[in-house]
Amino acid sequence: MKTEFRSLFALAGVLIATQVAAQVTFYENDDFRGRSFATQRQIGDFGRYGFNDRASSVEVVSGRWEVCESIRFTGRCMVLRPGRYPSLAAMGLNDRVSSARSLNRNARIDDQRYAQPVVQGQVTFYEREGFGGQSFTSDRQVENFQRQNFNDRASSVVVHTGQWEVCDDSSFRGRCYVLRPGQYPSLNSMGLNDRISSARMMEGNGRIDEMRFAPAPAMPAPANYRRRNNERLFEADVTSVRAVLGTPQQRCWVEQEQVSQGSTNSNVPGALAGAVIGGILGHQVGGGTGKDLATVGGAVAGAAIGATAGRGNSPSQAAMQNVQRCENIPNQAHADYWDVAYTFRGREHRVQMTTPPGATVTVNAQGEPRS
């Protein structure tokens, strides 16, 4: 009987150890939010559980898990070590996981198959609005910014990953706000410009009162293209480059129209023609940010030229009136960004870049851009 009990206890221990050694939870949204789906065994088809192509973040409790974009562990696959992966977009598997299985602890895995080490949370504070001036980046809580010589200096923030609580006093006291991932070009709206003294990342599974959140970020967080430690890099051929211009701008100017007194023979056509000529002159002499000013000046000057044209046919007495006119002009001064397509290992990838690329783009083994 004792032998049987020992065998049962040993079997139970093996089962418990197996469960602890292989456990993973998939979440519907980034940062471990939304619906979740946990498993301790391999899943050959997520569609049977209503979770196919829905996972956006993953928490590997224990063991090593292979996640694949097709059923029955086919297609593109990555191996995840224990840890928290707040976004699957970095490995090209956001809303694409269709199967997953745990790997034997003794299995030998090529380093290129592993997903990159997880950064639990990262935030960057900037000295000036619009992400200018000196900056300070952290992936752990900072109880007192004075130690980093950045106390009461932050004017803009980029939350790369995680949710961060920022406070206007040390040790997370005083007025505090929770910032979601994204770009905050100004802290004025929340009353924290040049006032942040401490910051810490919030637990992903913790419930946070909506009243504690800051206003939504102005823009999403930028992709992190920095090279990881010991990451092997490759050169991928660029196949197309498209410059994306900014939205059209409205430009306005003031024209002086000559209105004859006691006669309908006004010189409005001359003023309009002069304004057009002046606008053209302004565009020819203007450049950069001064182009707008030059256009305005040219338009006014042109209006004056047009107004004086044909005065010989106008009565001697005339009145002048100011008229504001506007037009939409495409922003041709510079490109906001470049939309770049490139191929790597037979697959096409796209990336937005702030500067035009060369003939190739530097990428990692998964085809992700690196700088």
Per-residue pLDDT of the chain (371 residues; tens, 9 = 90+): 444 444 444 444 444 333 445 789 999 988 788 899 899 999 999 999 899 999 998 988 888 999 999 999 999 999 998 877 878 887 889 899 999 999 988 888 887 888 875 656 788 899 999 888 888 888 778 999 998 889 999 999 999 888 999 999 999 999 999 999 889 999 998 899 999 999 998 875 567 888 899 998 887 776 666 666 667 889 999 998 887 665 555 667 777 777 665 544 444 444 333 433 333 333 333 333 333 333 333 433 444 434 444 444 544 556 777 777 777 665 555 565 677 889 888 888 877 676 778 889 888 887 878 87
Helices 268-285 and 290-308, packing angle to 10 deg: 150
Token pair recorded at residue 18: 């197996």
Q: For residues 341 and 348, what is the distance between their CA atoms, to the nearest angstrom?
A: 7
Cα–Cα distance between 352 and 108 in angstroms, integer? Answer: 36
| CA–CA separation, 296 and 128 (whole Å) | 31
d(C-alpha 225, C-alpha 69), whole Å: 23
As a whole number of angstroms, the distance between CA 154 and CA 196 comes to 6
How many residues can be counted in the chain?
A: 371
Same fold, 2-113 and 122-212: yes
Architecture of domain 122-212: Sandwich (2.60)
CA atoms within 13 A on the CB side of 150: 23
Give which of 266, 220, 264, 249 is closest to 333, Cα–Cα: 249
- E strand residue ranges, 50-121: 57-62, 65-70, 74-80, 83-85, 99-102
* Predicted model pTM: 0.40
Q: Which residues contact 171 (CB under 8 A, 6 or more apart)?
A: 143, 144, 198
d(CA 274, CA 270): 6
Residue 77 and residue 267: Cα distance in Å, rounded? 74
Chain segment 251-281, per-residue pLDDT in tens: 677 777 776 655 444 444 443 334 333 333 3
Q: Which two tokens stand for residue 328?
A: 């939409």
CA 71 to chain centre: 31
249-260 and 182-184 beta bridge pairing: unpaired
In this structure, what DSSP letter does residue 354 have? S
Instruction: Please state the domain extents for the chain.
Output: 2-113, 122-212, 228-248+330-371, 257-320
Burial, 15: exposed, middle or buried (Cβ in 10 Å; 0-12, 13-18, 19+)? exposed
Nearest 5°: the CA angle 186, 189, 195 is: 70
Which among 65, 62, 24, 68 has a CA at the least distance from the CA of 46? 68
Q: Report, in angstroms and rounded to the nearest whole number, the Rg of the chain calculated over CA atoms.
A: 31
- Position 156 scores a pLDDT of 93
Q: Quick check: 204 and 32 in contact, CB under 8 A? A: yes
Superfamily in which the 2-113 domain is placed by CATH: Crystallins (2.60.20.10)
